Structure 1
Amino acid sequence: MKAFGYPSNRLTLLWREILVIALAAVGGGTFALLGMPAAWLSGSMLLSAVVALIRPLPNLRRPWFDSTMVLSGAILGSAATPEALAAAARYPASLVILLVGVAVIMLATGAYLRHVARWPWIDALLAAAPGALSTVLAVAQAKGANIGRISVVQLFRLLVLVALLPSVMQLSGAATGMPTPAVQEVDAGTMFGVTMAGLTLGLVFERLGLSAPLMFGATFASAALHGSGLVEGALPMPIQIAVQVLLGTTMGGRIAHIPRNELKGLFPLAIGGFAVSIVVAFLFAWPAAWLAGVSYASGMAAFAPGGLEAMAMLAFAMGLDTLYVGAHHLVRFVIIGLAMPLVLGRMKNVPPR
C-alpha cells in the first residue's frame, strides 16, 4: 500500500519522526513561556531525554540530522561579521589557555575515573575528553574500550550542560550584560544561497574525510559570506527555532540507547566526573575571557566540556559571543580529533591493579 507515492512503512516512520519532533517542540515552547534562557534548545532536549528514559524514541533519519547540521552551520557562521572578525585578534591568548585547559580537564577527570571508579586509563581518558564524541567513540572501538560506560559519562555531561548551564549563568549573574542577538533577518533567496553554499562546501569536506563535514562546511561558507559583507543578517527566527528543536531532539533521544541497568550504575560516577570537569573548565574560562575581552558567560560557554554543535548553538541562543565560543570549540574539536588517536593509540587497555 502506498500513500502520496511513499510506501506505508516509510509514511508511518515519517509520522513517528514528526511526532517526536513535535514532542520536543512542546518542551522548548514550555521553557520559552517560562522565560528560560536558550529555551527551545534546552527544553526540547530535556523533554526528549525524559521521555526516552520512559520509552525509547525512534531515531531521526539521516536527512533530518544532515539538514540540522547544515542549517546550524549557516546560523553560526552568520556571527562572523566584519566587526566580529576584527575583534578575533584578541583570541590567540585565550586559545592557548584553552589548550592547557583541555589537557588539565582530561587528566583531572581521567584521574577521578581511574582512582575512584577503578577504570583503565584508556576508558577514563576517553570518557574525560571534552567533546568530539564521534572521535572518542571511534578510538574506543579501535582500542577495545568499554563504549557503553564512556558514552554514559559523555552524554550525561552534554545533557546537563545544555539543560542547566543557561540557568546557572542567569542565576549567578554571569549572563548579565550579554549582547542581544542580531534581529536583522535575510530573505528567502539569500537564505537559500547561504545554505546551498554551505551544503556544497560540506560535501567537499565529506569527500576529504573531515569530521562533521556538513556543519563545518556550512559554518565556513556562511562565515565567509558574512565576513566579507556580501550577506548581512541571520536566518529567520522560525528557522532558528526549528534547528534548535531538531538538535535538542537528537541529543535527548541518544539516551534511549543506553541500557537502563548500566545507566543506573554509572550515574554517580557521571555526576562526579561532570563536577570535576566543569570546575576545571570554569577556572580556565575566567582568565581566558578577560584576555579576550569577552563576557565571562561567553568564556563559560567556550570552555564548557560539551559537544561543538550543542555548545555553539547554545551560545547563539543566549546571545553570547558566538564567534568566540565557536572558535574555541572548533579548535578543541580539531585538537582532540588529531591528538587523541596519536596519544592513546600507544596505550594498552590495562585495568588498574
Structure 2
Amino acid sequence: MSVFGYPSSRLAILGREAVVIAIATAGGALFATLGMPAAWLSGSMLLSTAVALVRPLPALRRPWFDSTMLLSGTILGSAATPEALAALGRYPASLLMLLVGVAAIMLATGAYLHRVARWPWIDALLAAAPGALSTVLAIAQEKGANIGRISVIQLFRLLVLVAFLPSLMQATGASAGAPIPVVTAVDPAAMLGLTMAGLLTGLCFERIGLAAPLMFGATFASAALHGMGLVEGSLPMPVQIAVQILLGSTMGGRIAHIPREELRGLFPLAIGGFAVSMGVAFLFAWPAAWLTGVPYASGMAAFAPGGLEAMAMLAFAMGLDTLYVGSHHLVRFVVIGLSMPLVLMRMKGKAPEAGPPGPGR
C-alpha cells in the first residue's frame, strides 16, 4: 500500500522521525526563550532525554547523522578566519601551553574514568576530550563506543561551564557588556560549494581509514576555504540551529537507552571528571595569561574545556579578548580533530550496545 507514491512503511518511519525532531526542537526553543546558553543544543538534548526515559524514541537513521556531521564540520571550520589565523602568531608560548594542557586534561580525566569507573580507554578518552563535541560524537559512532555515557560526561561539563563560568570570570575582574558581533551568513551558492567540498574531502578521508571522515573532512575543507579568504561567513543561522537540534536529539536518545541505575551512577563520575579537567585547565591558564599579558579571565575562557561555540559566546558576552579566546579554542579543536582520529585509528571500541529496536537500527 502506498500514499502519494510512498510506501506506507516509509511514511511511518518518516512520521516517527518527525516526532523525534519535533520534540528536540521544542526543547531547544524553550531554552532559547529562557535565554539559556547553548540553548538549542542543551535544550533539545535534555527534552529528548526526558521524553525517551518515559517512552523510548526511535533512533534517527544514518543519513540524518551523516548530514548533521557534514554540516557541523562546515560550521566549525568557518571559525578559521584570516583574522583568527593571524592571531595565532601573537601567542606562541600560550598556544604551546594549550597543547600540553589539552594532552594533560585528556590523560588525567581519561585515567580517572578508566581507573575509577573501569571504562575502556576509548570511552574514557572520548569523554575526556575538552570540547569538539561533534567530533567526539562522530568518532564514538564510528568506533561503536558508548555514546550515551560519553554524552552525559561531555554535556554535564558544558552545562556547568556555561552556567557558572561567567560568575567565576566576574570574580576575577573581567569587564562585561560587549555585544555579540553579527556573523555573516554565506549565500546559497557558497553554502553548496562548502558542503560539497566537505563531502568530497570526507569521502577521501574515509578511503584512508580516518574515524569520523565526514565531520573531519568538512571541517578541514571549510577551514581551508575560510583561512585562504575564499569564503566569508558561516552557514545561515536556521541551518546552525537545525544542526544543534539534530545533535541534541542524537545524544538525548542515546542517553535514554542507558539503564537508569547506570545513569544515576554517572553523575558522581561526571562531577569528578569535571573537577579533574577544570583543575588541570586552570593550572595551565594562569601562567599562559601571565606570559601573554591578558587578564586571567581571558585565560580561563581560553583554557576552559568547553565547546568552541559556548566559550566564544561567553567571551563575547563578558567583554574578553575574543581573538585570544577564539584562537585558542580554534587550535584546540583542530588539534583534537586531527589527532583523535589518528590516535584512535587502531583502538577498538566495544560493539554497539543493544537497545530498543527502531528504524535507525
Tell whether 2:329 aligns with 1:325: yes
Question: 1:189 offset after TM fit, Å?
Answer: 1.6
**For 2:185 and 2:327, how far apart are their aligned partners in 1?**
18
Kindly report which structure 2 residues correspond to 1:127-276, keeping only aligned pairs within 5 A, or say none. 129-130=128-129, 132=136, 154-173=150-169, 176=176, 180-276=180-276
Question: 1:137 offset after TM fit, Å?
Answer: 8.9
Question: 1:158 offset after TM fit, Å?
Answer: 0.9
Question: 1:250 offset after TM fit, Å?
Answer: 1.6
**For 2:242 and 2:270, how far apart are their aligned partners in 1?**
30
**For 1:227 and 1:55, how far apart are their aligned partners in 2?**
46
Q: Is the Cα–Cα contact under 8 Å of residues 202 and 213 in structure 1 kept in the other structure?
A: yes
Q: Is the Cα–Cα contact under 8 Å of residues 114 and 120 in structure 2 kept in the other structure?
A: yes
Q: 1:225 to 1:113 in 2, by over 3 A?
A: closer
Question: 1:78 offset after TM fit, Å?
Answer: 1.8
Identity of matched residues, %: 61
Question: 1:10 offset after TM fit, Å?
Answer: 2.4
Q: 1:184 to 1:337 in 2, by over 3 A?
A: closer
The one-letter amino acid paired with 1:41 is L
**For 2:115 and 2:206, how far apart are their aligned partners in 1?**
40
Q: Which consecutive residues of structure 2, in runs of 5 or more, have no partner in the other structure?
A: 131-135, 317-321, 349-361
1:140-167 deviation line (CA, Å, top 9, x unaligned):
x8xxxxx76xx66533221213333222
Q: 1:178 to 1:330 in 2, by over 3 A?
A: farther
* 1:281 alignment partner in structure 2: 281
Kindly report which structure 2 residues correspond to 1:17-56, keeping only aligned pairs within 5 A, or say none. 17-56=17-56
Q: Is the Cα–Cα contact under 8 Å of residues 107 and 125 in structure 1 kept in the other structure?
A: no
Structure 1 SS opposite 2:252: helix
Q: Is the Cα–Cα contact under 8 Å of residues 74 and 218 in structure 1 kept in the other structure?
A: yes
Question: 1:324 offset after TM fit, Å?
Answer: 3.4
**For 1:125 and 1:197, how far apart are their aligned partners in 2?**
32
Q: Is the Cα–Cα contact under 8 Å of residues 48 and 252 in structure 1 kept in the other structure?
A: yes
Give the stretch that moved more between structures: 90-99 or 215-224.
90-99
**For 1:192 and 1:295, how far apart are their aligned partners in 2?**
41
**For 2:225 and 2:123, how far apart are their aligned partners in 1?**
41
**For 2:160 and 2:343, how far apart are their aligned partners in 1?**
30
Q: 1:2 to 1:315 in 2, by over 3 A?
A: farther
Question: 1:86 offset after TM fit, Å?
Answer: 0.9
Give the stretch that moved more between structures: 120-129 or 62-71.
120-129
1:62-108 deviation line (CA, Å, top 9, x unaligned):
11111111111221222222222111224543443234334433554
Q: 1:152 to 1:183 in 2, by over 3 A?
A: closer
**For 2:298 and 2:9, how far apart are their aligned partners in 1?**
45
Q: Is the Cα–Cα contact under 8 Å of residues 156 and 270 in structure 2 kept in the other structure?
A: no
**For 2:281 and 2:267, how far apart are their aligned partners in 1?**
21
Q: 1:78 to 1:125 in 2, by over 3 A?
A: closer
Aligned length: 331
**For 2:19 and 2:152, how far apart are their aligned partners in 1?**
24
Q: Is the Cα–Cα contact under 8 Å of residues 99 and 332 in structure 1 kept in the other structure?
A: no
1:290-311 deviation line (CA, Å, top 9, x unaligned):
65788877765664556xxxx2
Give the stretch that moved more between structures: 269-278 or 15-24.
269-278
The one-letter amino acid paired with 1:169 is L
**For 1:58 and 1:136, how far apart are their aligned partners in 2?**
19
1:255-302 deviation line (CA, Å, top 9, x unaligned):
022122222344323332332223323332444466578887776566
Q: Is the Cα–Cα contact under 8 Å of residues 77 and 220 in structure 1 kept in the other structure?
A: yes
Q: 1:110 to 1:38 in 2, by over 3 A?
A: closer
* 1:11 alignment partner in structure 2: 11
Q: Is the Cα–Cα contact under 8 Å of residues 27 and 43 in structure 1 kept in the other structure?
A: yes
Q: Is the Cα–Cα contact under 8 Å of residues 289 and 298 in structure 1 kept in the other structure?
A: yes
Give the stretch that moved more between structures: 80-89 or 266-275.
266-275
The one-letter amino acid paired with 2:250 is T
Q: 1:328 to 1:18 in 2, by over 3 A?
A: same
Q: Which consecutive residues of structure 1, in runs of 5 or more, have no partner in the other structure?
A: 142-146, 346-353
